[in-house]
Amino acid sequence: MTTVQAEGLSLRFGRTTALEGVSFALDDGVTGLLGPNGAGKTTLLRILATAIPADAGQLRILGADPRGAAGRLAVRRRLGYLPQNPGFHQHFTAFEFVDYIAILKEIVDGRHDEVRRVLHAVGLDDHRGKKIKALSGGMRQRVGLAATLLDDPALVILDEPTVGLDPEQRLRFRELIAHIGEGRTVLLSTHQTEDVSTVCQRVIVMNQGRIRFEGEPSALAAVAMGRVWTSRARADGALAAWRTGNGDYHNIGDPPPDARLVDPSIEDGYLMLIDAASLAGAA
Ligand SMILES: Nc1ncnc2c1ncn2[C@@H]1O[C@H](COP(=O)(O)OP(=O)(O)OP(=O)(O)O)[C@@H](O)[C@H]1O
């Protein structure tokens, strides 16, 4: 069974169209959700997490329709959601925070064992007695991730969990996400194309409330095939160009006839997909 099936989801906040006709399907494995600021990623995740309803469209999550109270409850029982700002209680220990979420989730039998299990799963055995305020950003994110894993959810929704982490913490966090994606459905919102290339089997790109791409990461890179080249000097007419470590310029756009074409990356494909204004901003 497809975990998530969305058809034509739309949502407006006053005059702002946050989502417009969004359709996609999610299955087991990790799917990355990429898009610039304001693309509609968080709004979409909140709808999938049943925190807010869409104005229009059809949605089935784990076979249930979240428009009705019974459907919402069925989804929530099998869902793990890590919002952008999980609202950690700074004076709680890691154990107390996850236990608090376990209480809210109405886990009754073996609750403390379950809290220990998820803290172990994210590598926090040695830190569970530490106060949240004393943990590093990466460890704090792991506490949040532990809470999303309570009761072994079938669908895990993570909103920009790698923001603010240093490279090593990001690497460790990616390893955890890859592991979590084995045998369940994970939707990972991110600004980092590297998150997508390292752990995602599929990727969705959003911009201005619409889906611009859905497919495998390699297919996202292929969007820029024949449109990426290097040059000694900044190329005229490139949509985006930046100087690389060896002093050459990396250019995206319509190449001149004698251009030294290079294989595009996922980032190149992503930049090709979003609009010219965003490309100018990225240059
Ligand atoms: N509660 C709200 N009230 C009014 N407008 C909102 C609300 N939530 C989101 N929006 C607007 O909807 C659009 C989509 O916002 P959203 O937060 O979903 O984007 P995003 O892709 O998650 O951005 P970011 O990467 O910056 O987190 C934006 O224009 C935003 O200002």
Q: Tell me the residue length of the chain.
A: 283
Per-residue pLDDT reduced to its tens digit, 78-120: 999 999 888 888 899 999 999 999 999 999 899 999 999 999 9
pLDDT at 221: 95
Q: Check residues 276 and 35 and name the one with the higher pLDDT.
A: 35
Q: Is 282's pLDDT higher than 70?
A: no
Q: Could you please report the per-residue DSSP string of 125-181? A: GGGTTSBGGGS-HHHHHHHHHHHHTTT--SEEEEESTTTT--HHHHHHHHHHHHHHT
Percentage, residues of the chain above pLDDT 70: 97
Q: For 231, how many CA atoms within 13 A lie in the half-sphere containing its CB?
A: 20
Q: Which of 96-100, 121-125, 161-165 has the highest mean pLDDT?
A: 96-100
pLDDT of 75 > 90? The answer is yes
- Centre of ligand 1 to C-alpha 38, Å, is 5
Domain 4-215, CATH: 3.40.50.300
What atom of ligand 1 comes closest to residue 39's alpha carbon? Answer: 21
Q: What is the mean pLDDT of residues 204-217?
A: 95
- Cα(123) to centroid of ligand 1, in Å? 33
126, 160, 164, 161: which is closest to 142 by C-alpha? 161
- End-to-end C-alpha distance for the chain, whole angstroms: 43
Cβ atoms of 41 and 203 within 8 Å: the answer is: no
12 lines ligand 1 (CB under 6 A): no
| Those residues with Cβ within 8 angstroms of residue 135's Cβ, 6 or more apart along the chain or in another chain | 94, 127, 143
For residue 4, pLDDT over 90 is answered with yes
Give the pLDDT of residue 283. 45
Position 33 scores a pLDDT of 97
pLDDT, position 172: 86
3-state helix, strand, coil in the chain (%, to 5): 35, 25, 40
Residue 218: CB within 6 Å of ligand 1? no
Query: How close is the Cα of 91 to the center of ligand 1, in Å?
Result: 30
At residue 279, the pLDDT reads 53
- Nearest CA to 34 out of 215, 171, 183, 243 is that of 215
Residue with tokens 């034509």: 8
Give 247 Cα–ligand 1 centroid separation in angstroms.
Answer: 38
Classify residue 28 by its DSSP letter. Answer: S
User: For residues 164 and 137, is the Cβ–Cβ distance under 8 A?
Assistant: yes
Distance CA 207, CA 93 (A): 38
- pLDDT, averaged across the chain: 91
Closest approach atom of ligand 1 to CA 19: 14
- What ranges do the domains of the chain cover? 4-215, 221-282
CA-to-CA distance for 42 and 159, rounded, in angstroms?
7
Percent of the chain residues topping a pLDDT of 90: 75
Better-predicted residue by pLDDT, 274 or 120 = 120
**pLDDT surpasses 70 at 277:** no
28-74 tens-digit pLDDT: 999 999 999 999 999 999 999 999 999 999 999 999 999 999 999 99
Q: What is the mean pLDDT of residues 155-176?
A: 88
